Structure 1
Amino acid sequence: MTTKARRAALRDLLAGGQASTQAELCTLLAERGFTATQSTVSRDLKRLGAERALGADGIPVYRLGRPPSRKGPSARTVTTIEHNECLVVLRTRPGMAQAVGIELDELGHEDIIGTLAGDDTVLVVPRSIARIETLVRDLAARVGIGLESPPRPR
């Protein structure tokens, strides 16, 4: 089975919104005769422009989406942005943190070293704490939401 055929099968699965995890996609592909590891599926998803979004039943599913943009996440997925003197935390709708983390990584923002995503929280590691305020303002503007005030030292 070729890469092209595997991706076509994956595209069909994504069009149906049948899986909420990459492991489920691997299983569904195997049922169609394609052996693929999670890392292969992950690369294929990125190549196809797939996104993880809420399905009609409120459960996150992978589906074909718009091509990756350089705009970053939106207010539909990010609910708040907070920071302290060292780190930035973005809260997301449940199940959306990994997608937001990927979008932030794809931005190639000069002030972001990297991100770490859970289910509904993304930790953003800034390149410099001296520019953390600028980074937070930029992220808030890209997302289109207001900022939470940082905690005050006692």
Structure 2
Amino acid sequence: MKLARHEKIIELIQEYDIDTQEELAARLNEAGFKVTQATVSRDIRALKMTKVAGKDGKSRYAILQDTQPGLGDQYTRVLNDAIVSIDVGQNLVVIKTVTGMAMGVATALDALKWPEILGCIAGDDTIMCACKSTELAEGVMEKLGGILNRR
């Protein structure tokens, strides 16, 4: 049942711009899957779904595939569409994003597997990346600026 539900979730997010767990649960219930919001939340984590900017600028759920080493087109798009500003405070890189996009950007940063980043914590529109040192944090900011073609 779980596998069929996951397949249906993938089908639904490809067909519709779904931006809330409640909307996803409603569509699953309409499709005959009796789910609660808690089940949908677990499915979102299991499928490694995140929110990305849709064509109309609203956020929507998507599954980011880590199919290639380095920085894939999907990650570049997420970073470019969502990042508003980047700043450094000692060994922390603080990234401001469009509202609701911090989790997607943090997922993309984690997928980069940059050795200088110890880990990222994402809120709604802010990410804190802990780096191994102040110097490495400055380097991460420069690398991100290069990806975004900004300084």
**Which residue in 2 is equivalent to 1:39?**
42
Residue 128 of structure 2 is aligned to residue 129 of structure 1:
no
> Which has more radius of gyration?
1
CA shift, 1:64, in A, is: 5.8
Asked whether the equivalents of residues 79 and 145 of structure 1 are also in contact (C-alpha less than 8 Å), the reply is no
CA shift, 1:107, in A, is: 1.4
Asked whether the equivalents of residues 52 and 61 of structure 1 are also in contact (C-alpha less than 8 Å), the reply is yes
Residue identity matched to 2:44:
V
Gaps of 5+ in 1: 147-154
Q: Give SS of 1:76's match.
A: helix
Change (3 A) 1:31 1:83: same
CA shift, 1:38, in A, is: 1.2
Residue 23 of structure 2 is aligned to residue 24 of structure 1:
yes
TM-score if structure 1 supplies the norm length?
A: 0.74
CA–CA separation in structure 1 for the residues paired with 2:141 and 2:32: 46
CA–CA separation in structure 2 for the residues paired with 1:131 and 1:76: 25
Superimposed CA distance per residue, residues 27-74 of structure 1 (whole angstroms, 9 cap, x where no aligned partner): 432332334341223222x2xxx5523345543111466x33632543
Superimposed CA distance per residue, residues 89-137 of structure 1 (whole angstroms, 9 cap, x where no aligned partner): 1111222111001111111110111111122221111122342222221
Cα RMSD (Å) = 2.5
**Which residue in 2 is equivalent to 1:103?**
108
TM-score if structure 2 supplies the norm length?
A: 0.75
Gaps of 5+ in 2: none
Q: Give SS of 2:80's match.
A: coil
Asked whether the equivalents of residues 25 and 41 of structure 1 are also in contact (C-alpha less than 8 Å), the reply is no
How many residues align? The count is: 140
Residue identity matched to 2:43:
T
